[in-house]
Amino acid sequence: MILRDSLYGRYTKIVFTFLCFFILSANNSFAQGVITVLDDADKMYQPRQQVYYLWDKGNNLTLEHVKSPDFDKQFIHSGKGAISFGITDENMWFKVKVKNNIPAQQKDWIFEMAYPHFDSLEFYYQDEKGTWQKELTGDQTPFHTRKIFNKHFAFPMQLDDTTTHTFYFHIGGQGSRQFPLYIQSPQTFYAAQEEISMIYGGMFFGTIIIMMFYNLFIFFSLKDKVYIYYVLTNFSVIIYYCGYTGYGFQYIWPEYYWINEKIIPFGAILTGITTIIFSKIFLETKKYLTWVHKLHIYFIAAYLLELATLFFVSYEVALKGASLMASLSAMLVLISSYAIWIKGNKSARFIAFAFSFYLIGIVLLNLNITGVIHRNFFVAHAMEMGTIIEISLLSLALSDKYSRLKKEKEQAQAELIHVQRVANEELEKKIERRTQKINQQKVELEESNKVKDKLLSIISHDLKGPLNSFQTLLAMMLKDELTKDNINMYTSHLNNKLGLMINLVDNILNWVRTQMGGMKFDIIKLNLKELVKENIHLFSSQAELKAIKIFDQVPEGLMVMGDKNVVRMVIRNLMANALKFTKNEGQVFISAVVQENCILIEVRDTGIGIPPEKMNLLFTDAHFTSPDTNHNAGTGIGLLLCKEFLSKTSGEIWVESEVDKGSSFKFTLPQVQVE
C-alpha cells in the first residue's frame, strides 16, 4: 500500500494505463485443463494456467506431506491471474503436470525458472524407476552446482513416453514469490538464451559502458565533477543489473553466493546516492531552488543511513526499503527538474524527460516484485528500456553542457590572444613562448576531442532512431492504441532495429579500440565454413523479415589464416550491408574459392547497387552513407573497419557493383599452408 500511495499524483494516469495494458496482455489466455501438453519441439511453453500452489505457513512441509491425499486437495489452482505473491519469507510449493505427446521426435526438455533470485529452489521429479529425485539450487548455492550454466535455474529432463508426469517445486528463503516456469526443447532454450545475451551484452550493457567511458574521457579533459558523478551513476547501474539479471552470479562471483543476498539493494542504494548527487550538481539546485537543494541533501542522508543498516536487516526489509527509496528519489529528481526548468535552466529538460521513462520502469519493476502485477516480457524489461533511454538523455544533457563550456573556453582563448597581441615589446618573447605553449596544448586538446566528437556524432545519430522507435511504441501503449497484430508487427520491427543497434555498438567499440591503439590480432587457423554458418544463423531472422534467401556456397573444410574476431566482423558487416540494400524477396550469395596462396571470399547480393560516383568513398574515413531499402542509413564505419583490419592481417577487400543489379564485395585471406 505504501508503494501504491506513492504513485498517486502527476503520473497516476500514465502509470495505471501501463499497468492495465500489461495486466491485460498477460491474462488474455484461458486454461486448457490442468495438464501441460508438449506437442511442438519449437514452442516455448509457459504453464501459467496449469499450475497449482500451496502455502507452507510453518515452513516445515516435506515432499511426502504434499504428495499425500490430504495435502494434495489443499493445492490451489493458479487460475488466469498472476503467479506472483510479493515479497515474503514463507515457503511455497508448486505442482505442475506435463505430458509429452512427441517422445519419438523430442524426448529431451528443459524446465527453466526464469527468475534468478530464489534463495532456495527444490525441484522434485520421478526417475525411470519411479523413485522421487530432488535437485537443490538457488542463489544461496554455489553456481557450479547447476547442471546448466545459465543465470536462471534450468533443469534438463527426459520424457521418454506419453505418460503424464507430475513435478513439484519448493521455493524457500526470502524474496519475491513468483513462478515464471518455461518448458522448451534444448534447441529453443539455447536459441532464446543467445538472443537474450545479445540484447544485454550488445545493447544494454554495451550502451551503458560506451556512455560511461565517453563521459569519463570528457571528465579527464574538463575536470568537471558532474561528469564523474554521471560515470559513477552508470557504474552503480551496472552493479545493480549484474545482481538483478543474475549475470553477476554467473560470471563474476559464482562461488561467493552470499553476495546475492545484498547486491541488489546495495546496487539500488548506490545508484540512488550517485543519481541524487548528479542531479544536485547538474541542476544547480542551490542556485535555483533552496528547498529542492535541501531535499536532495535529506535524501543523500537517508540513503547513507540505509546503506549503514543494510547488513543488519533482512533481505525482505532491505529490498522493500531500496525499492521505496528508488521510487521516491526518481520522483524527487523528476519534480525538481521540472521546477528548475520553469525557473530558467533549460538543461533541466533533459533530466525531466530522462526520469519520466526511468520512473515508469521502476514502478513496473516494484509492482512486479511486490506482487501487484505479474511478470511478462514488457514488465521484465521495462526498467532496462527506461534505463537505456535515461542514460542516453543524460549523456545528451552533458553533451549540451560540454558544448557551452567549449564555446566559453574558445572565447577565453580569443581574449588571451588579444591580450598577447597588445602586450608591450619587453614581454614579447615571454608572451611568444607562452602562446606557443598554449597553442600546443590546444592542438593536443583538439586531437583528443576529435575522437570524442566523432563518437558522439555517431551515437547521437544512429542510436537515436531505435530509441525513438521505443519511445513511439511506449506512447502508443500509453494510449492503448495497439492490437495484438500491431504488437507483433512492432515487435518484429524493433527486433530488426535492435539487431542494427547491436551491430553498430560492436563496430563503434572496435573503431574506438583502433583510435586508441588497443587492438591486438591473433592469427590462427580458422574453419571458414563454420564462421559463415554462424553469421547466416545470426541474420536469419532479419532475412526472413524481407523474404531474402541466403545461399551458402562455401566448401566444407576450407581453412584460412586470420584473426577470428576480424574475419567474423568482416563477414557480419558485409552480410548486414547485403541484407540492408537488397529488396524484399532478393538473394544473397556467399562463396569462397582457392586462388594461389590465398582464399577469395565473395558476398554478392541482388540489391540496389552503388552509383559509380560514390564507389571511391567506400572504405574511407569520409564515412559514406546511403539509405537502404527501408530508408535507414548507417555510419559507414563498418567498411572502414573491414579494410583497416584486413590490411593488418594480410588481407585485401574491394567491391564491384552495378546500379539496380547488385553489389559484390570480395576480400582475401591467407590460405593454410600444408606442411
Q: Which residue is listed with cell 547501474?
A: 237
42 exposure class (CB count in 10 Å sphere: 0-12, 13-18, 19+): exposed
Indicate if the pLDDT at residue 13 is higher than 60.
no
Q: What is the spatial distance between Cα 247 and Cα 197, in angstroms, rounded to a whole number?
A: 10
Name, of 175-179, 244-248, 617-621, 656-660, the range with top average pLDDT: 656-660
Q: Which residue is listed with cell 555510419?
A: 635
Q: What is the mean pLDDT of residues 255-283?
A: 90
Q: What is the mean pLDDT of residues 472-501?
A: 67
Q: Which residues contact 69 (CB under 8 A, 6 or more apart)?
A: none
Indicate if the pLDDT at residue 381 is higher than 80.
no
Please report the pLDDT score of residue 27 as a whole number: 38
Tell me what the pLDDT averaged over the chain comes to.
Answer: 80
Q: What is the spatial distance between Cα 650 and Cα 29, in angstroms, rounded to a whole number?
A: 58
Per-residue pLDDT of 100-158, as tens digits, reads 999 999 999 999 998 888 999 999 999 988 899 999 999 989 998 899 999 899 999 99
Please report the pLDDT score of residue 174 as a whole number: 84
449: pLDDT confidence band, cut at 50, 70 and 90?
Answer: low
Domains in the chain, CATH or no CATH each = 31-184 (2.60.40.2380), 191-485 (no CATH), 520-670 (3.30.565.10)
Per-residue pLDDT of 280-330, as tens digits, reads 998 889 989 999 999 999 999 999 999 999 989 888 888 888 888 888 888
89: pLDDT confidence band, cut at 50, 70 and 90?
Answer: confident
32 exposure class (CB count in 10 Å sphere: 0-12, 13-18, 19+): exposed
Least Cα distance to 552 among 516, 507, 601, 488 occurs for 601
Indicate if the pLDDT at residue 630 is higher than 60.
no
Looking at residue 502, its amino acid is I
Express as a percent the part of the chain with pLDDT over 70: 77
CA angle 213, 270, 313 (to 5 degrees): 155
Indicate if the pLDDT at residue 21 is higher than 50.
no
Q: Which residue is listed with cell 587492438?
A: 519
Least Cα distance to 619 among 663, 582, 665 occurs for 665
442: pLDDT confidence band, cut at 50, 70 and 90?
Answer: confident
Residues in the chain: 675
Please report the pLDDT score of residue 63 as a whole number: 94
More reliable by pLDDT, 114 or 426: 114
Please report the pLDDT score of residue 489 as a whole number: 66
Per-residue pLDDT of 635-654, as tens digits, reads 567 787 788 888 888 889 99
518 exposure class (CB count in 10 Å sphere: 0-12, 13-18, 19+): exposed
**pTM recorded for the entire structure:** 0.51
How are strands ordered across the β-sheet holding 598-605?
A: 549-553, 587-595, 598-605, 662-670, 653-658
Per-residue pLDDT of 385-403, as tens digits, reads 777 777 777 777 777 766 7
Please report the pLDDT score of residue 495 as a whole number: 65
Q: Which residue is listed with cell 539509405?
A: 627
12: pLDDT confidence band, cut at 50, 70 and 90?
Answer: very low
**In this structure, what C-alpha cell is assigned to residue 412?**
577565453
Three-class SS of residue 586? coil
